[in-house]
Chains A and B, each alone.
Chain A
Amino acid sequence: MISNPYKKGLQVVLVFLFVFTNTSVLAKAERYGEVSLENRFFVEQGLFGQGKNHSSFTLSPEFYFESEDQKTSFTFKPKIRRDSTDDERNLFDIQDLSLVRVKDSYETRIGIRRDFWGVTETVHRVDIINQTDQVESFDGEDKLGQPMINLSVEREWGILDLYALVGFRERTFAGEKGRLRLPFSIDTDSAFYESSSENLRTDFAIRWSQSYRNVELAFSHFSGTSREPELKTGLNDNLNFRVPYYAIIDQTGLEVLYIVGELAFKLEAISRSGQGGRFSAATTGFEYTKVGILDSRLDLGWIIELNHDDRYENSPLALGTRLTLNDLYDSQILSGVIWNEETGETNVFVEASRRVRNCCRLSFESVYFNEGSNSNTAQKMFEYFKQDDFARFEFIYFLGN
């Protein structure tokens, strides 16, 4: 699974680490990270005969070094994942391998990094710097490290981030034995690109963001290879095989967050060209948190988000609640439903987690797909996941110093 450039890179890193840890210029050298064991239990066999029980192991240690004046820091965080059944879920990724230097209001960040853009909770439309590690989790919030040079300027007029994104990371897809997969095999090894430099193209992005008393505002533009591939049939037109095609796109994004008391109104919108005709998509909604419900320590948060995407007929609505117990174990329960009026589908999810001792965390996640009874012709969102209801347990041990 480890590709050659990565092997080379790793050697360089190990030498670098050795030198770093042996110099006294560094005021701080810390190690942390996590080890996790996960088991996903699916209620039924898959639509394509995949098994019911899938477990995986993930190791992601993190090394952090900081200079005495705290102006220079270096982070290295690899991530290794092994899956019991699905080879496509095996991963070796460098999440972070970067050097950050601060000078006055300028910050240069060079290396492999992750960066998040956005304000909404259920769908992240604007976020585009990193590729999604789609097989890691159902919520799509896990990302792959992206090589980049990022210059950030922070002034009274806001933060301006300029990015040169060097090279491209492909999206991960579940393999034939994997669950939550599409009804065809995806040949990721044959992925093809609009760019003649294929996955070595340098993409560019810019984002301006500013905070006001009650408002957070950001505009961004990305020009480069789309993180979201189109799945094309191969040369022989065999419908059971698809190949990811990564087009060059231009995407402009807007993020707005407006706070009124306990309420946060959110909007993320994009306009993208390069994949067929120009289209727009938006997610908007609000988050409301009631602190100390019924005179208790408990906080109850509500999230409502409405989605629109020109490419699809349906506009799914997401409704979620987050119950925070504020106990010693940081126990919390997030539950919700994604409802699609056009297709009649509902997708129900529950995520609960709590701390175990000082070192660990235990989490439970469960997702149910209900195809609904509508007999209309609208393309269903989760048509191929209807037998993929699952419960997932994860135990995470956090590595200490």
Chain B
Amino acid sequence: MSADEFNRGLEIALKADNSFSGYGDSKTNLKMLLKDRKGLITERVMKMKLLEVPEDGDKSLIVFDSPRDVRGVAVLSHAHKTGSDEQWLYLPALKRVKRVASKNRTGPFLGSEFSLEDLSFQEVEKFSYEYLRDEVLEGKEFDVIKRIPLDPYSGYTKQIVWVSKMDPLIHQIHHYDRKSFHFKTQIFRGYKKYLNKFWRPNEIHMINHQTNKTTTLFFEDMAFNTGLSEKDFTQNSLKRSK
């Protein structure tokens, strides 16, 4: 890879990141529809709070609503631009907050095709980049870049990212596993601009090519600048989350 390819890759990633940034904080309801090989559909519902921390990494708090047996279970994550992220799990039945190793973020989340890593914010600093090519897909022009996670505990060895040339938004990601096998495709749909500043999709599809299962994530009732602060992303607030 030439320095030129690296810089161009990074430049595209920064532009894409920029179109996501500046949201301050957000509250969203998440609905996941899990579709198995036979087309059987199962639903998961959760609430997510996010806090933008530009100088380090974003913070998130996810609380499960359904299925009922996991209601009240919550996950608090503090992402960091360098080094591993921190993560805590709250188990309401035992009233226990449990710190978990960050590698645990890479497995299937609530039986879905997403991992917690997929749901967390992808800080630009967490990857090295390479510009690959220009490509036309469904009549639109894309920059195709490769990014390699720097975190040794990432679930992926590389990701190929399609960034639209028109508005620098990520439209598709191919995920490669430890054996460098393309096993998941992530597709972003329904981008909307909020507060005249940043973009969010309202659907994310994750297709697992190994199992032929698909999970669709819907963002509902998205609210920004809701007044959340660092205090809402601590262990005490994790214990309070319902």
Contact = CB atoms under 8 A, between A and B. Distances in A.
A154 B236 contact: yes
B103 A32 contact: no
A177 interface: no
Given A159-B235, A263-B101, A328-B42, A292 B242 contact: no
B108 A261 contact: no
A64 B69 contact: no
Contact-size category for A: 35 or more
Contact of A259 (B99, B106, B235): B99
Given A264-B99, A358-B66, A295 B108 contact: no
Nearest to B153: A261
Contacts of A292: 106-107, 155
A115 B69 contact: no
A141 interface: yes
Contacts of A189: none
Interface in B186-242: 211, 231, 234-236, 240, 242
Contacts of A399: 68
B177 interface: yes
A211 interface: yes
Interface in A114-136: 114-116, 118-119
B67 A355 contact: yes
Contacts of B68: 32, 358-360, 398-400
B93 to A, nearest CB: 9
Nearest to A326: B108
B54 interface: no
Contact of B69 (A159, A289, A360): A360
A361 interface: yes
Contacts of B43: 358
Nearest to A216: B99
Nearest to A105: B231
B106 A291 contact: yes
Nearest to B99: A216
Among A118, A264, A291, A361, max chain B CB count under 10 A is at A291
A329 interface: yes
B71 A262 contact: no
Contacts of A73: 240, 242
A327 interface: yes
A341 interface: no
Interface string B81-115: 00110101000001111111111101110110000
A328 B95 contact: no
A297 B107 contact: yes
B177 A295 contact: yes
A109 to B, nearest CB: 9
Contacts of B211: 297
Interface in A304-340: 324, 326-330
A257 B88 CA distance: 12
Interface string A361-401: 10000000000000000000000000000000000101110
Contact of A261 (B103, B106, B155): B103
A299 interface: yes
B104 A289 contact: yes
A27 to B, nearest CB: 12
B152 interface: yes
Interface in B45-96: 66-72, 80, 83-84, 86, 88, 94-96
B95 A115 contact: yes
B179 interface: yes
Given A262-B153, A326-B111, A358-B68, A211 B99 contact: yes
Among B98, B211, B231, max chain A CB count under 10 A is at B98
B120 to A, nearest CB: 15
B234 A327 contact: no
B167 interface: no
A213 B83 contact: yes
A102 interface: yes
Contact of A257 (B84, B99, B234): B99
Contacts of B99: 119, 211, 216, 257, 259, 264
Interface string A256-299: 01010111100000000000000000000000010110010101
B242 A30 contact: yes
B70 A330 contact: yes
B71 A398 contact: yes
Contacts of A248: none
A104 interface: yes
17 contacts: A30-B242, A32-B72, A104-B231, A154-B231, A154-B235, A211-B88, A211-B235, A213-B86, A261-B101, A297-B108, A324-B107, A326-B111, A328-B34, A328-B36, A330-B67, A358-B43, A398-B71
The 9 closest A-B pairs by CB, nearest first: A398-B68, A326-B108, A116-B96, A291-B107, A262-B103, A361-B69, A116-B95, A328-B111, A358-B67
Interface of B: 34, 36, 42-43, 66-72, 80, 83-84, 86, 88, 94-104, 106-108, 110-111, 152-153, 155, 177-179, 211, 231, 234-236, 240, 242
Interface of A: 28, 30, 32, 64, 66, 73, 100, 102, 104-105, 107, 114-116, 118-119, 141, 152, 154, 159, 209, 211, 213-214, 216, 257, 259, 261-264, 289, 291-292, 295, 297, 299, 324, 326-330, 355, 358-361, 396, 398-400
Given A30-B242, A259-B102, A358-B68, 16 more contacts: A32-B71, A107-B236, A119-B98, A119-B99, A211-B235, A259-B99, A261-B152, A291-B103, A291-B104, A292-B106, A295-B177, A295-B178, A295-B179, A330-B67, A361-B69, A399-B68
